Chains A and B, each alone.
Chain A
Amino acid sequence: MESIIQGKAFVLGRNIDTDQIIPAEHLVYSLSDPEEVKLYGKYALSGVPPAQSGLPEGNIPFVREGSFTADYTIIIAGQNFGCGSSREHAPFALQVAGVKAIIAESYARIFYRNCVDGGFVIPYETAMHLAQTVKTGDELKIDIKANTVENLTSKETYQLNALGDVFNIVEAGGIFAYARKENLMAQS
C-alpha cells in the first residue's frame, strides 16, 4: 500500500448516486475483458448533471471526450457519496478512470463496503466541508499514515477521519487478501 496519494482533485456535491457514477446502460460491459474494461473509465461519472460536474465552476467533464481515463486522482464530495444501487461497477469505474481515493463527508453503506472489500479506491471520511473549500484541479497530497490531506495549490492541510476497523482490509488490498492473511478462508 502506498503511503502517499498525490494528484488533482475533482469536486462534486452531495448525494452522488451510483447512477451518476456509472449509468445503468453501461453495466453490460465485461469487468474482466481488458478492452471492455476501458469503457468503464470512459463513462465514469458521466451521469452527473453537467452543472454539478467539477465544482465550483461546474460543466467540467470528469473524463475528456475521446479519453478512457481522467486527469484526476482524488474525488472530493459532500454527504452520502455512492448512494443508490449495489453496483460494484461504480467504484470499479472510478478506479479504471484513475481515481485512487475519495474524500467525502459520508458514504452509503454498500458503496463504502465495495470500495474497501474490492480494494478499488480508498474511501476517506472527513468532518470538514471540503467540497466547499477545494476547487476542481487543485493538487492534493494524502498522507495515509498521518490521515491528512494537503492542498498544494492553496497551501492548506485538512484532517481526515482514521479508517478505523477497515484499515486492515484496505491495507491488505481487499477482503480476499485480508481473509488469506488472517486465515479466514481455505487457501485456494
Chain B
Amino acid sequence: MEQTITQKILARAANRKFVTPGENVWLNVDVLLTHDVCGPPTFDIFNQEFGEGARVWDPEKVVVLPDHYIFTANEHAHRNIDLLRKFAKEQNLPNYYDVGTDRYRGVCHVALAEEGFNLPGTVLFGTDSHTCTSGAFGMFGSGIGNTDAAFILGTGKLWEKVPESMLFTFDGEMPEYLSAKDLILQILGDIGTDGATYRAMEFNGEAIHALPMEERMTLTNMAIEGGGMNGIIAVDEITEAFVKSKTSKPYEIFTSDPGAEYFSKTRYNTAELEPVVAKPHSPDNRATVQSMKGTKITKSYIGSCTGGKLADFKLAAKILSGQKVSVPTNIVPATVKVARDLETELYNGKSLKSIFEDAGCSIALPSCAACLGGPSDTVGRSVDCDVVVSTTNRNFPGRMGSKNAEVYLASPLTAAASAITGKLTDPRNYL
C-alpha cells in the first residue's frame, strides 16, 4: 500500500507498517510542548488524574516554553508562570525555559526549532494550535487541548484519527515580492477556514524547496487556519543542514510514495501569484494588495510565530531600509535569539535593528504579545477603531485586542510597505 509522508510518520508512531485515513490509532508521542496559558491547567489535570506523586512519562520529552503573557503586570499571568516553575521543579523537567532567566526563549514554535526539538519523522503534540509549525521539518506536529496533553504527560500516548492529505505544489521560483505568507494566504482563500479540517496539508514543489526553513515554517504554521490537523514538508538538504546545526539526535526521513492517495492536489505557479492580504475578519478573506491599495491603516505589526522570525525581519528590512514609517509600527521578535540576530544581521551594511529604529519602529521584547490580544497592558494590543496590518496568523473579531478593530493579515513585505505610507501598499513599490 502506498502512503503519504503523514501516514508513514503516524504508522511508525503506532508501531504499524501501514495506517489508513479515517482509522483511529494510538500514537507514541516523541515530544509534548506546553506554555504558560495551557501548561497550568494541563498540570492540574495530570495531578488530579494520575494522583499525588505521579511522575511524567519521560521528563526529557516534555518541553515547557512560556511565551504568551510574559511582559505584563497582570497578576494572574504571573501566577501561571509560577505554576509552570513549580511543576518543572517537582518533575525535574530539563526542558523548562524559565521567564526572567537567561534560559527564557520566547515564542514556543520558533524556539522548538532553535533548540533542536524539531526532528524529522517524529510526532510532536502541543497545547497550542500552531504546533503544526513543526511540520516544516518533515515531522508530524499538531495542536491539542489540556486534557489530551495531560493524558500524554502520564502515558506518552494519544489517539488520533489518521488524516487524508491535501497536496499543494508550488512551481517556479519565488519572486522577490512574495513571501511564504502570500502562498499560504493564497491557499486559505481557495479552500476556506475549514477546507482542510481533519486533514494533512502537504506542501511541495520547486518554490517550496528553495525556501529557507523559517519561511517553510510560515506555511506549515498556518495549516491550522485552514482547519488542518498538520502541515508538512518533506526533508531536503536545507532541512538536514538546519537540524544538524541544532542537535546531534538521530532521526528518520519519510517521503510520500508516488502512488499515495490524496484528497486533492492543487498546483500553483508562483509567477502568477501576487502579494495578498486576508481582510477582516477571517484568514480566508483574501484580496490582492493591489485591489486594496489605499486602505488607511493605523498600525503595522510585525511579529509572532508566523511573522516574527529572522527571515521575516530580513524581508521587512529590505523595504524599511532608509525609509520612515508613518504609523506606529511594532517589531516583535519571536525569540531572544531573533532579537539578538536583529543586532548582528546586516542589510546594506546596517543592522536590522538600526534599520528599524531609524525608520521609527518600536522594538518589543520577544513573546506572543498582541498576536492574540492578551492582557490590557500588552505591547501593540489593538484598540477601538484600529486598522492593523499584521504579519500574524489570525484576524478573527477581537483577536488582537478590541472587537472593534480591523486586522489585515499580510506578508512582512506588505506590512513594511504599508507602514511607510499608512495605507495598504504593494511591496513592489519599494523593491
A positions within 8 Å CB-CB of B: 15, 17, 19-20, 23-25, 27-32, 47-49, 79-80, 83-89, 91, 106-110, 113-114, 117-119, 165, 174-176, 179, 184-186, 188
Docked-complex contact B373 and A114, CB < 8 angstroms: no
Which positions 390-423 of chain B face chain A at CB distance < 8 Å? 394, 396-399, 403
Known: A80-B227, A87-B37, A118-B147. 8 other contacts (CB 8 A): A17-B394, A25-B375, A31-B44, A48-B397, A84-B129, A84-B394, A86-B143, A89-B41
Docked-complex contact B396 and A84, CB < 8 angstroms: yes
Residues of B within 8 Å of A25, CB to CB, are 373-376
Task: Using A28-B80, A87-B37, A114-B145 as known contacts, say yes or no to A49 and B397 having CB atoms under 8 A apart.
Answer: yes
Against A, the Cβ 8 Å flags (1 = close, 0 = not) of B69-113 are: 100001011011000000000000000000000000000000000
Report, as a range, how many residues of chain B touch the other chain. Answer: 35 or more
Against A, the Cβ 8 Å flags (1 = close, 0 = not) of B220-247 are: 0000000101000000000000000000
A23–B198 Cα distance when bound, in Å, is 24
* Residue on A nearest B226 in the bound complex, by CB: A83
Docked-complex contact B147 and A23, CB < 8 angstroms: no
Docked-complex contact B145 and A28, CB < 8 angstroms: no
A124 to chain B, nearest CB (A): 16
Docked-complex contact B193 and A32, CB < 8 angstroms: no
B167 to chain A, nearest CB (A): 19
Docked-complex contact A20 and B227, CB < 8 angstroms: no
B282 at the interface (CB under 8 A from A): yes
Q: Name 29 interchain pairs, CB-CB below 8 A, sorted by A.
A: A15-B193, A17-B396, A19-B398, A19-B399, A20-B397, A23-B398, A24-B373, A24-B374, A24-B399, A25-B375, A28-B69, A28-B74, A28-B76, A28-B77, A49-B397, A49-B403, A83-B193, A84-B394, A85-B128, A86-B143, A87-B38, A108-B227, A110-B129, A110-B144, A114-B145, A117-B148, A118-B146, A185-B151, A185-B155
Docked-complex contact A117 and B145, CB < 8 angstroms: yes
Task: Using A47-B397, A83-B193, A85-B128 as known contacts, say yes or no to A117 and B151 having CB atoms under 8 A apart.
Answer: yes
B385 at the interface (CB under 8 A from A): no
* Residue on A nearest B41 in the bound complex, by CB: A31
B357 at the interface (CB under 8 A from A): no
Q: Which 7 A-B pairs have the closest CB atoms?
A: A28-B76, A88-B145, A114-B145, A80-B194, A188-B51, A118-B147, A86-B143
Residues of A within 8 Å of B54, CB to CB, are 188
Docked-complex contact A19 and B372, CB < 8 angstroms: yes
Docked-complex contact A175 and B151, CB < 8 angstroms: yes
B335 to chain A, nearest CB (A): 20
Residue from A27, A49, A113, A185 within 8 A of B154 (CB atoms): A185
* Residue on A nearest B76 in the bound complex, by CB: A28
A56–B301 Cα distance when bound, in Å, is 36
A174–B145 Cα distance when bound, in Å, is 13
Residues of B within 8 Å of A179, CB to CB, are 151, 155
